[in-house]
């Protein structure tokens, strides 16, 4: 299986929610200077619009994702605030 290493570690938004082991959703990821869509698999169902982190490439156009929350949001979301 050929993995797409560029997409691992990227965050994106689910265009179609995942259904856990019942089936994939679809994710929009900003990668390689543009935006691309991939089939998105997750261990548990995730809703449409959720922000997710790509943790594995399953091949050329399929990825494994998990729910993602920006850790900087705990500090008000502004890394430049002093």
Q: For the chain, what are the domain ranges? A: 5-68
- pLDDT tens per residue, the chain (82 residues)? 678 889 999 999 999 999 999 999 999 999 999 999 999 999 999 999 999 999 999 988 999 999 998 888 778 755 555 5
Residue 25's CB: how many other CB atoms inside 10 A? 23
Backbone φ and ψ for 61, nearest 5 degrees, come out as -135, 25
What was the pLDDT predicted at 33?
Answer: 93
The Cα 24–Cα 31 span in angstroms is 20
What was the pLDDT predicted at 35?
Answer: 96
CATH of range 5-68; options 1.10.3720.10, 3.40.50.300, 3.40.50.2300, 2.40.50.140: 2.40.50.140
What was the pLDDT predicted at 81?
Answer: 53
Residue 47's CB: how many other CB atoms inside 10 A? 11
**pTM, two decimal places:** 0.84
Q: Which residue has the tokens 């019942």?
A: 22
């Amino acid at each position: 299986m050929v993995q797409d290493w560029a997409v691992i570690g990227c965050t994106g938004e689910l265009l179609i929610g995942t259904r856990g082991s019942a089936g994939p959703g679809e994710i929009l990821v900003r990668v390689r200077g543009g935006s691309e869509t991939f089939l998105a698999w997750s261990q548990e169902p995730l809703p449409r619009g959720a922000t997710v982190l790509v943790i594995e490439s399953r091949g050329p156009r399929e990825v494994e994702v998990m729910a993602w929350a920006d850790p900087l949001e705990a500090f008000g979301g502004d890394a430049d605030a002093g």
